[in-house]
Structure 1
Amino acid sequence: MTQPGAATQQAPSRNYPKGERRRAQIIEAALTAFGQVGYRNASMVQLAAACGVSRAGLLHHFPTKESLLEAVLEERELQDDQYFFRSGADHTDRTDRTDRTDGLEYFASMVRLVAHNQANPLIVSLFAVLSSEATAADHPARPYFTARYERARSQMTRAVDDLVRRDLLHPHVDPAGLTASLIALIDGLQVQWLLSPDTIDMPAHLRSMLRNVISAELPV
């Protein structure tokens, strides 16, 4: 859902040993490559060249393309978490972050995340390309995206339930199916924005839609 050209999203500065720094550089370069040509079309030779290492050097850190894909998806998840949860709206562990979700803060955080992704096109491109590829039954990223959407629906449903309990949805809004509709909106905005970045403002469109759904103003 989350999160698409412009410069590659830079990884946070970390005091890694040399081997770990190289591993982080490979993941960053692979994120760009997968976002541009997809997983299927990227060979390990091409990925090694993009990462500035030999094929043997790449295999030292990632023995298979699947293991590199897994690392790229994990890095993207960590980047999302940094922006989505930075406000402190949720303090549960990563496996079930929504136990104490405030509905208003949840959707405010969602707008912030979409704005962050809009400033980093390769993040959105990576998600759009790989999520489309992952619809194939044999794609190695299929379990990741299946679990990601299940988690997203669960989190957003709890946020909507919180708004219902607090009577913060407009009277015309039916909460049933609202989660699926909002996720579809966000994913659709990402594709439209990738095709027409000068026309589509993803966070503005999302905030406008949420105003039609939620009767209270979202926190900034």
Structure 2
Amino acid sequence: MRAVDRGYPKGRIRREDILAAAVAVYGEAGYHGSSLREVAKRAGITHAGLLYYFPTKEALLAAVLERRDAEDAVRERLNAPAGREVLKHWIARAEYNVAHPGIVELYSRLAAEAVTPDHPAHDYFVRHYRIARRSASVSFRVLAERGELRPGVDPNLAALNYMALSDGLQIQWLTSPDEVDVVGALRQYLDSVLIEPL
């Protein structure tokens, strides 16, 4: 990490400006449809200035994804104990996402592009989904052990179904926001597998 990233406020602010510009450009054009020159233009700096902070397009993408994960971790208190608390955080994340469509569009676009193994974010999304599935399965298993899941509900399938429903609803919502109630549908799903409503 360069000294400007760690210690100097001006450098940290410039880095954040670049990341914000990259989020906007990736959200509009996707990773493959974007360029460092366009990100630099949006950030109000030269192409060479951007390269000082992020020497490659892949480095910038990695920083954007790391920033998103860090923001999610702080906002969602991801260290919450497994069980109902995690489910409540999932609903809170859905509410946040609905209020911030740009984040959802960026994530959905990058996740779709990254299905090909040669995409620079492919490994990130493989890890991201693996960790998310594992975390969700743990919460549903805890609920099952406490007798809080309806009889016959498989905790691993409940977790996988929730994740698929969440991502699928977000894509439908992006295309038809007035017709898709992401939060309502997710709540209804969770209530359908829980003995007591969330």
- Tell me, what secondary structure is at the counterpart of 2:155? coil
CA deviation vs aligned residue, 1:148-169 (integer Å, no higher than 9, x gap): 0000001001000100100001
CA offset at residue 175 of structure 1? 2.7
Question: How high is the TM-score relative to the length of structure 2?
Answer: 0.92
Give the number of the structure whose residues are more often helix, by fraction.
2
- 1:52 equivalent in alignment to 2:44: yes
Q: CA RMSD in A?
A: 1.5
2:191 pairs with 1:211 = yes
The Cα of 1:176 is off from its aligned counterpart by 4.2
Following superposition of structure 1 onto structure 2, how do residues 95-114 of structure 1 map, counting pairs within 5 Å?
101-114=81-94
Question: What is the match of residue 22 of structure 1?
Answer: 14
- Paired residues of 1:83 and 1:116 also in contact (CA < 8 A): no
What stretches of structure 2 of length at least 5 have no aligned partner? 1-6
CA distance in structure 1 between the aligned counterparts of 2:130 and 2:69, rounded to whole angstroms: 14
1:162 equivalent in structure 2 = 142
CA distance in 2, matches of 1:147, 1:81: 16
The alpha carbon displacement at 1:172 in A equals 4.2
Distance in 2 (CA, whole Å) between partners of 1:149 and 1:37 is 23
2:42 match: secondary structure: helix
TM-score norm. by structure 1 comes to 0.83
Partner of residue 194, structure 1: 174
Give the CA deviation at 1:51.
Answer: 1.4
SS at match of 2:115: coil
Moved over 6 A (4+): none
1:34 aligns with 2:26: yes
1:77 aligns with 2:57: no
- Residue 40 of structure 1: SS of its match in structure 2? coil
Q: Report the CA distance between 1:202 and its aligned residue.
A: 1.1
Deviation at 1:182? 1.0
| Counterpart Cα distance in 1 of 2:93 and 2:32 | 28
In structure 1, list runs of 5 or more residues that go unmatched.
1-14, 91-100
Deviations along 1:56-90, one digit per CA (max 9) or x if unpaired, are: 1110111001010011001111121122217xx62
CA–CA separation in structure 1 for the residues paired with 2:25 and 2:135: 30
Instruction: Supply the AA of the counterpart residue of 2:161.
Output: S
Count of aligned pairs: 192
DSSP-derived class of the 1:139 partner: coil
Matches within 5 A, 1:109-148: 109-148=89-128
- Name which structure has the greater RCO, CA cutoff 8 Å, separation 6+: 1
Instruction: Kindly provide the amino acid, as one letter, of the partner of residue 64 in structure 1.
Output: T
